[in-house]
Amino acid sequence: MQPLAAYIGAAFAFVALDAIWLGAAARQFYFTQLAGLLRDKPDLGVAAVFYVIYLGGVVYFAVMPALASGGLAKALLNGAMLGFLAYATYDATNLATLKGYPAAVAIVDVMWGTFVTGAAAAFGYLAAMRFGA
């Protein structure tokens, strides 16, 4: 039951924070920086596939080890490290392969991925502790 509670908690936090970030806080930044690359409307099906897969990784690599032997700080740190690695891989690949991919986007995106994944892992941990018994 703990993995399911962790997944639901992490998903709630990640999707809510990402919606605020992409829908309001950083929307203009991304539109300005990536003018010709962004769709008018995102493909929500592809986004859903990303969330399902990525959040499984958050639970497996960040939350479950923290539940086994660590606590909230371990979930937060593991999540932040996973977010840094995943988002840095994505953005470094974009910098290496896409003409004109802005370094500013890469920097902001990696910082965001580090934060949001750490927060989602922490929230997943708390949900598992509260509801996963």
Q: Which residues contact 34 (CB under 8 A, 6 or more apart)?
A: 102, 105
State the total domains in the chain: 1
What is the pTM (predicted TM-score) of this model?
A: 0.95
**Can you give the pLDDT at residue 43?**
94
Per-position pLDDT tens, the chain of length 133: 999 999 999 999 999 999 999 888 988 899 899 988 888 888 999 999 999 999 999 999 999 999 999 899 999 999 999 999 999 999 999 999 999 999 999 999 999 999 999 999 999 999 999 998 7
Contact of 85 with 131, CB cutoff 8 Å: no
**Can you give the pLDDT at residue 27?**
85
Q: Among positive and negative, which fits the CA dihedral 99, 103, 106, 108?
A: negative
Residue that the structure tokens 């003409």 belong to: 99
Give the whole-angstrom CA distance, residue 66 versus residue 76: 9
Give the whole-angstrom CA distance, residue 4 versus residue 7: 5
**Can you give the pLDDT at residue 63?**
99
State the residue range of the domain holding 13. Answer: 2-131
